[in-house]
Amino acid sequence: MSGSTSKRIPYEIVHCLKTALASWTTGKKALITTALTQEKAYSFYFQGVNQDFYTLAKSITGVQFNCELVQIAFPQIYRHRPLLNVALYHELGHFLDFHHGIVNLSLLSIPGEQLPLPGINFNDMTSDERKIIATSHRREYFADIFAACYVGEAYKYFLDAFAKNHSGSWTHPATNDRLDLIDSLLSGTDNAIIDLFQQSLAKLGIRKLGINFAVPDVSTAFDNARPYAIQNEAELHGIFEAGTNYLKQVQIPTASINIWAKAVGEASTERIINGLVEKSIRNSMIVDRWETQ
């Protein structure tokens, strides 16, 4: 892990994550920190900070933290590729799960073996094995649907591309089962797993899961290779699905749009569209800060 310097911090995605996080935390504020790794391309992860860190920091440096650290790491090669950084919303979901004890409460309400999980047969397992699998799978499911609440199909597209047809394991559900759950959330279809999370959130007095994005029409701006003027917080998150959809359209050989895209080639097209999404977010950040001065 190389860490982050002021010139390398991906301010745009951090801004989006901070905006999403604001309505899920009360009292002590959470501070998002990022680290850029040199590891494999799909290495995204969340690292919690236990209480010992804050105690040690105070005893050694005299610094009293008035916020909770949220540490998120992702590959350096994606620093300027926001359409691939939608996985960080999933990692933010893991933080909120640990922060509020959402999955743990769900296990107290309905133990793992009492809520069927796709692809899992709890027969012939010990109670410890059941708990391990149920906990791990529920954690991944919660983080998945949390991400989908903010970036919709953009996260589904990322998950399908990076973990295509992965079978289930002790730590992760099968990819197709995860995609099905995301579809249930986005379509508003009844689902026992989502219902259990909603019940747990209600008991904790936290807001429920729901759609928190609006997909803007970026075609006019992007067709002219210009950033889109984000109108509100919902569009700030929705720009990821808009950008993903635009990129997918450009990649269709028979597409009649994007004269510039046909001229620069596939690799450059992906870079330019990621750049347009990044600049759109950056411009929104500047406007927000200007208005709050």
Tens of each residue's pLDDT in the chain, 293 residues: 444 444 556 788 889 998 999 889 876 677 777 777 766 655 666 666 666 666 666 778 777 777 777 777 777 777 778 898 898 899 899 989 988 999 999 999 998 888 888 888 888 888 888 899 999 999 999 999 999 999 999 999 999 998 999 999 989 999 999 999 999 999 999 999 999 999 999 999 999 999 999 999 999 999 888 999 999 999 999 999 999 999 988 887 666 655 666 667 676 888 999 999 999 999 999 988 777 66
pTM given for the model: 0.88
pLDDT of residue 208: 94
Contacts of 277 by beta carbon, 8 Å cutoff, 6+ apart:
82, 83, 239, 240, 243
Digit-coded pLDDT (tens) for 253-293 = 666 655 666 667 676 888 999 999 999 999 999 988 777 66
Which residue reads 């899992």 in tokens? 120
Give whole-number Cα distances, 190 to 132, 155, 194, in Å.
Answer: 26, 20, 8
Q: Return d(Cα 215, Cα 231) in angstroms, integer.
A: 11
Digit-coded pLDDT (tens) for 69-86 = 777 777 777 777 889 889
pLDDT of residue 9: 63
Q: What tokens were used for 38? A: 């040199």
Q: Return d(Cα 77, Cα 25) in angstroms, integer.
A: 30
Residue closest to 89 by CA, chosen among 47, 49, 33, 46:
46
Q: What tokens were used for 154? A: 């953009």
Q: Return d(Cα 252, Cα 32) in angstroms, integer.
A: 37
pLDDT of residue 1: 44
